[in-house]
Chains A and B, each alone.
Chain A
Amino acid sequence: MNVVELNNVTKRFDEFTAVENLSFTVKQGTIFGFLGPNGAGKTTAIRMIVNITAPDEGEIKVLGEQVSLATQQRIGYLPEERGLYKKMKVIDQLVFFANLKGIESREAAKRADYWLERLEIADWRNKTPVEMSKGMQQKVQLIATVLHEPEFLIFDEPFSGLDPVSADLLKQVILELKQKGKTIIFSTHQMEQVEQMCDDICLIDHAKKILGGSLKDVKRSFGRNTIILDYEGEGNFLNDDLINGKKQFANYSELSLKDGADAQEVLRRAVSAGVRVNRFELLEPSLNDIFIASVRRANGKRGEL
């Protein structure tokens, strides 16, 4: 079953088109990476999914239904721009947010206590956010997102502002939610997180989708065109038509092949040039590279890997 389905969704603000003809689906029980540069239209798309704004054209279905106040109740949404009431006790805020999702106060307090313990901020239960660090406030916001036990969660930039320890804790929580069968949309600029966690991705830029599908397929379609080469001797043999670029690191070089070039040919030339090869490895392109190349290509710039 598809938890989210967008069909040719367009949203305009006056002359500005924030989202144009966007379609994608999010499968149940998966983590979906929703990527794109700042201002690409991610937040607008997410706001339409959570029923904050309505699309001008196209159709959005959440959990099999047309987006509505009812589907809104079943989503946990952690917005990129998020905050807490400054002078309200942590526990009161959590109960308030759960109340808004229809959870009764006593049950909400019970669940909040569990999560405060789980995220190691139980001591802050009766404190106000003014007294807390930003990282701790983020944890409280995370709890507010999951307290009503939604089937489907959206995390918009959840890692921004988190220290490494908290970021790791958050990653564990997200993976744990996935294990429990929850579906997650996850928007971030940190490509390592996406590579580690996401099943499917969608990359948008300037309101349009430029790349999408399962992470494996996306990577495969970009081919194995990066070579790690560690050699001793003259590097003249690299100055030729097979190579697009070369990044020299302390102990090795990273070469990116031209489209259609054969990696074996590089190895053959190295051997015939008489250099000593210590390491030769064919790599998948990193998501980071795919991201940058795709965005550049979509903008009509040279964008090869």
Chain B
Amino acid sequence: MNKTLVVIKREYLTRVRSKAFIIGTIISPLLILALMILPSLLTFKSGGSRHITVLDQSGDSQIYEGIKKRLEEGELSSGEKRSIGNTTFKLERVIVAPDQDVRALADSYNDKVANVSDEATLILPKGILNSQSPEYRAKNPSDMVVGNVERSLNDVLRTRRLAQAGLDKSKIDEYTKSIELVKTNPQGEEEKGIPRFLIGMVMLFFIYMTTLFYGIFVMRGVIEEKQSRIVEVVISSIKPFQLMMGKLLGIGLVGLTQYSIWVLCLIAFAKFGLSMFASQGVTMPEIPISWLIYFIIYFVLGYFLFATLYAMVGAMVSTEEDAQQAQTPVTLIIILPMLLFGMVMANPDSTVSTVLSMIPFFSSTLMIMRIAMVNPPLWQVIGSMVGMILTIIAAVWVVSRIYRVGILMYGKRPSIAELGKWIRYS
């Protein structure tokens, strides 16, 4: 069996089986999804039935009929059917004489309303078509159901008022309909939903956070082997280079697994979840598959670049406490794009943005953002990848030479001059 593979297997399995990974990868997206879906799901479920006693003092029977029609059958004035969830409404009309105190009458229903959550009273006072507000009484008067009641009332009252003024509501609806702006790019493709810069920003943050996390995992792994003195046993069986590469690849695979699960969830969500959101009037962005592929590629490249540097930090220090300080330069390089991305976002096609996104240490974050925003020319995308790959090769070469010396050195952290010596050792 290939020795590097043995190390990869250990790194991969011990991490993928850990609680932290399962929570981080599977549970957290599920949780986010659940949080997004649950409310709408609850609306459907919580529906049940509602018995509304309408205390009608308006003297206009069409108001009651209109509400009844809308709530019991879910039909709007324009003839359009609108989803009102799966609540079944049952309306009952009590006609109240104009000289009667309608609110005092409503009070007599309070006992029933207070005890049965399906019971409600709706007061339609006289003068409702002018300025008097209707009143809705229920045990829980601000639940999801009340929105339907309010919408229906508004729709009916608007129609009745317009009719009173001698106007046709359906005509007015037609004339006041709001337009939808069609957004297209120069290729003539229409863009819908969430703006591209937002998607770019989300991808940038994901790559930033995951490279940081996984880099630190690698560093901790190196320190653990060093601190617990496992490393000498291991390198009496394999070359330090194999151990280092096994660790980098193993932890990288863990990251890739996590990304794959996320991307698959996203695709599955796009396929099955979007229609549900669309029905709720929310448009989700359409993310091209190519972006997801770039997303994964830039994560992998960014990970290798920074994880290699973190492996060096791990090999240089003896304890996690030492590492806090020693890792600062590497962490700064990772954080720098976070300070620069605003500039790139403001003007993604400027020379400065192009140059910044071509710097290997910044490419994984800034280029993915530019890809989402402006479709940079292919040579820039490929160029940034090649730049990163070359930098990774150089980093692996230098770091592996520091690593093989560092893992057997304990005590004081080496100076830059000493690191130079380590690199030159045969």
Contacts and interface: CB of A to CB of B under 8 A. Distances in A.
Interface stretch (A83-91, A230-238, A246-254, A292-300): A83-91
Contact of A81 (B3, B14, B224, B229): B229
B238 interface: yes
B236 interface: yes
B237 A100 contact: yes
Interface string B207-243: 0000000000000000011011110111111110000
B282 interface: no
Nearest to A137: B228
A75 interface: yes
A14 B414 CA distance: 14
A86 B14 contact: no
A102 interface: yes
B237 A86 contact: no
Contact of B1 (A75, A104, A141): A104
A164 B369 CA distance: 65
Nearest to B238: A100
30 contacts: A14-B421, A52-B232, A52-B236, A54-B426, A77-B233, A78-B233, A79-B229, A79-B232, A79-B233, A81-B229, A82-B232, A82-B233, A83-B228, A83-B229, A83-B233, A84-B228, A85-B14, A85-B224, A85-B228, A85-B230, A92-B14, A96-B6, A96-B10, A97-B233, A97-B237, A99-B6, A100-B237, A101-B237, A141-B233, A144-B233
Contacts of A144: 233
A101 B10 CA distance: 14
A82 B236 contact: no
Report whether over half of chain B's contact residues are helix, strand or loop; otherwise say mixed. helix
B417 to A, nearest CB: 11
B239 A69 contact: yes
A213 to B, nearest CB: 28
Nearest to B426: A54
Interface string A50-93: 11101000000000000001001101011101111111100010
Nearest to B239: A69
A72 B233 contact: no
A82 B237 contact: no
B230 A83 contact: yes
Contact of A102 (B1, B7, B224, B230): B1
**B224, B234, B236, B421: most-surrounded residue (chain A CB, <10 A):** B236
**A47, A83, A87, A88: most-surrounded residue (chain B CB, <10 A):** A83
Q: Which 4 A-B pairs have the closest CB atoms?
A: A83-B228, A100-B237, A83-B229, A81-B229
B3 A88 contact: no
A15 B109 CA distance: 99
B408 interface: yes
A88 B234 CA distance: 15
Interface residues of B, number: 24
Nearest to A54: B426
A51 B240 CA distance: 11
Given A79-B229, A85-B228, A141-B233, 19 more contacts: A14-B421, A51-B236, A52-B236, A75-B236, A77-B233, A79-B232, A79-B233, A82-B229, A82-B230, A82-B232, A83-B227, A84-B228, A85-B14, A85-B225, A92-B14, A99-B9, A100-B234, A100-B237, A100-B238
Contacts of B7: 100
A88 B14 contact: yes
Contacts of A51: 236
Nearest to A141: B233
Contacts of A54: 426
Contacts of A87: 14
Interface of B: 1, 3, 6-7, 9-10, 14, 224-225, 227-230, 232-239, 408, 421, 426
Contact of B3 (A79, A92, A100): A100
Contacts of B230: 82-85
A98 B233 CA distance: 11
A100 B6 contact: yes
Contacts of A101: 237
A100 B6 CA distance: 7
Contacts of A82: 229-230, 232-233
A68 B283 CA distance: 64
Interface in A13-49: 14, 47
Contacts of B1: 99, 102, 104
A291 B10 CA distance: 44
Nearest to B240: A52
A140 to B, nearest CB: 11
Contact of B228 (A72, A86, A100): A86
Contacts of A92: 14
Contacts of B224: 85-86
Contacts of A97: 233-234, 237
Nearest to A102: B1
Given A52-B408, A85-B224, A99-B6, A73 B237 contact: yes
Nearest to A104: B1
Interface string A199-243: 000000000000000000000000000000000000000000000
Contacts of A88: 10, 14
B10 A79 contact: no
Contacts of B3: 100, 102
A104 B3 CA distance: 11
A50 to B, nearest CB: 5
A246 B426 CA distance: 53
Contacts of A99: 1, 6, 9
A5 to B, nearest CB: 19
